[in-house]
Amino acid sequence: MLENIRLSFQGIWSHKMRSFLTMLGIIIGIAAIIAIVSTIKGSNEQIKKNFIGSGTNSVNVRLSEAGDTDYEMGGSGIPQGVPVLTEEDRQELEDLPHVKEASLYVSRTNMDGTIFYNSKTIQGGSLIGGDIHYLDAAGYVISEGRHFMESDYKNFRKVAIIDNEVSRTLFSTESPIGKTLDIGGEPFIVIGVMEAITNNNQIRIDSVDDYYTYKGDEGAVSSKVLIPDVDWGIVMQYDEPQNAYVLADTTDNMSVVGKAAKDLLNENVTNKDNIQYRAEDLQKKAEENQKLTESSNRMLLWIAGISLLVGGIGVMNIMLVSVTERTREIGLKKAIGARKKKIMSQFLTEAAVLTSLGGVIGTIAGIALAEIISMLSSAPVAISIPSVIIAIAFSMAIGLVFGLLPAYQASNLDPIIALRHE
């Protein structure tokens, strides 16, 4: 085998231009496939980031009424048939497979005229009553100040953590730490500023459908004020229906985690016809958009595949020419005892080496082409190592398939006729 490979490289080098032109179809086809696959993979990753965010695997499990609309507080407290969630329920959520963290929280949106600092107030926004796990589970970090402590909950301290939007609106350029907010007529001391664990801290909305996807998402609402859930009754007159955040170990497991958390919380809901917990399956929405992108690019892959077919036919043609040129050589080898299998393996190896070399060159060209496309069009690309390996293996397979006929023809030459060939 090693001897056949050596002879193959020797033959390719002795006919450099002819070999390059033969490989050109393979090079173009492989380069096109690598570039297209890299663009598709990059686009899929960008779609996933646009829907889910680029730093957090949090899934929001919210109580919803019939029609998949978020349950709106109507002044009557927790709806009938929905149990109050406890620390044991939170622990069960955290014990689910692929869950790293879980949090229970309550919230109200559109808090106009409820939150003040001196004469300033925020418009819209949301007030959240969260447990000590909320920031980690929901995908936030403290950028200034401190987190809640166990003692804040034990002593019912009226403390608050705000986001950057609230900080800019109420405090402008001064530090909010230590300042006192008026929340529903109660004084709360600001102890920290939180920000989302994403590259841009904002969900990207490119269409009307995206807007309706996110308009009900508590995580997408600007101007958020977080207080300990034990202080909720101090500010509000009624208990609120509780929601949950669960943090998946990977982005790909968000759908599985969301479904498991939803099913767990719905086990004790007795009014399932009108109200139940639902998970925001952003992973599924991302996958649906990825399928649209892949289907639109699948035709490009088929077109690139045609060039591989043309390249394969070129390999077959040049190998047939090679058999004709080396007829006397084949006759001499058979005359001194070379078997059909040996002759056939030599020509198959030469065809496979020729196309494999074209595959390697095509892969390098494809990666370079993908990077050029990315620079010129700002389209995201992601090089897929499996696709590179498959491309090179596929190019070798083309050599074996299209080299089979010339190899068979060479192995079946009559040695006497071959020796007489001029």
Tell me the pLDDT tens digit for each residue of 79-134.
777 888 899 999 999 999 999 999 999 988 877 778 899 888 888 788 999 999 99
**What are the tens digits of pLDDT across the range 384-417?**
777 778 777 878 888 778 777 777 776 666 666 6
For helices 16-52 and 2-14, give the axis angle rounded to 10 degrees.
110
Alpha helices by DSSP H, 336-414 = 340-377, 385-402, 404-411
How many alpha carbons fall within 13 Å on the CB side of residue 15? 16
pLDDT digits (tens, 9 = 90+) for 186-222: 999 999 999 987 544 344 434 434 433 333 444 444 6
Task: Please check whether residues 303 and 221 belong to one and the same domain.
Answer: no
Q: How far apart are CA 340 and CA 337, in angstroms?
A: 10
Q: Specify whether 41 is located in the same domain as 74.
A: no
Pick from 289, 294, 319: nearest CA to 401: 319
Query: Is 317 a member of any domain?
Result: yes
* Among the listed residues 240, 396, 247, 228, the one whose alpha carbon sits nearest the alpha carbon of residue 308: 396
82 and 35 within one domain? no
Whether 262 has a pLDDT exceeding 60, the answer reads yes
Q: Strand 115-117 vs strand 99-109: parallel, antiparallel, or unpaired?
A: unpaired
Q: Are residues 89 and 193 in the same domain?
A: yes
**Residue 118 and residue 236 in one domain:** yes
Q: Is 265 inside a domain boundary?
A: no
Question: Percent of the chain beyond pLDDT 70?
Answer: 72
Q: Which tokens in the block code for residue 25?
A: 């179809």
Give 160-185 pLDDT, tens digit per residue.
999 999 999 999 889 999 999 999 88
Domain total of the chain: 2
Q: Which residue has the higher pLDDT, 338 or 128?
A: 128
Q: Nearest to residue 321, comparing CAs of 409, 260, 253, 261? A: 409
- Evaluate whether residue 282 is within a structural domain: no
| Coil vs helix vs strand at 253 | helix
Examine the domain organization and report whether 20 and 111 are in the same domain: no
Token pair recorded at residue 397: 């397979």
Residue 127's pLDDT is 92
What's the pLDDT at 276?
A: 85
243 with 292, same domain: the answer is no
Identify whether residues 245 and 100 lie together within a single domain: yes
Residue 94 within any structural domain of the chain: yes
223, 249, 275: which is the final residue of a domain? 249
In single-letter form, the type of residue at position 328 comes to: R
Fill in the DSSP letter of residue 84: P
pTM of the full structure: 0.57
For the chain, helix, strand, coil in percent to 5 are 55, 15, 30
Token pair in block for residue 408: 């068979």
Q: Of 214-218, 297-301, 317-321, which gets the smallest average pLDDT?
A: 214-218
Q: Let me know whether 305 and 407 are in one domain.
A: yes
Q: Is residue 205 part of a domain?
A: yes
Does residue 40 form part of some domain? yes
Residue 54's pLDDT is 46
Please check the confidence at residue 299 and state whether its pLDDT lies above 70. Answer: no
Q: Could you tell me if residue 255 is inside a domain? A: no
One domain, residues 70 and 197? yes
* Residue (of 216, 239, 409) closest to 326 by Cα position: 409
Q: Which domain holds residue 309?
A: 2-49+288-420
Count of CA atoms in the C-beta half-sphere (13 A) of 362: 35
Six-digit token string for 27? 């090079």
Confidence check: pLDDT of 245 > 80: yes
Decide which of 249, 266, 297 is a domain's last residue.
249
Q: Please indicate, yes or no, if residue 328 is contained in any of the structural domains.
A: yes
Task: Tell me what percent of the residues of the chain surpass a pLDDT of 90.
Answer: 23
In the chain, what is the greatest distance between 2 CA atoms, to the nearest angstrom?
A: 109
What pLDDT is recorded for position 159? 96
Residues 236 and 308 in one domain: no
Convert 132-148 into a string of H (helix), E (strand) and C (coil).
CCHHHHHCEEEEEECCC
The verdict on 227 and 100 lying in the same domain is yes
d(CA 6, CA 105): 69
What burial letters (b/e) apply to 144-170, b meaning 16+ CB within 10 Å?
A: bbebbeeebeeeebbbbbbbbbbbebb
Mean pLDDT, rounded, of the chain: 77
Q: Which tokens is 128 given? A: 């959240």
* Tens of pLDDT, residues 21-43: 878 888 888 888 888 777 777 76
Among candidate residues 195, 221, 249, the one where a domain is terminated: 249
Q: Which residues contact 371 (CB under 8 A, 6 or more apart)?
A: 381
Tokens read off for 304: 């690139």
Tokens standing for 369? 């082409």
Give the model's pLDDT for residue 398.
Answer: 81
CA dist 134 and 136 (Å) reads 6
pLDDT of residue 244: 93
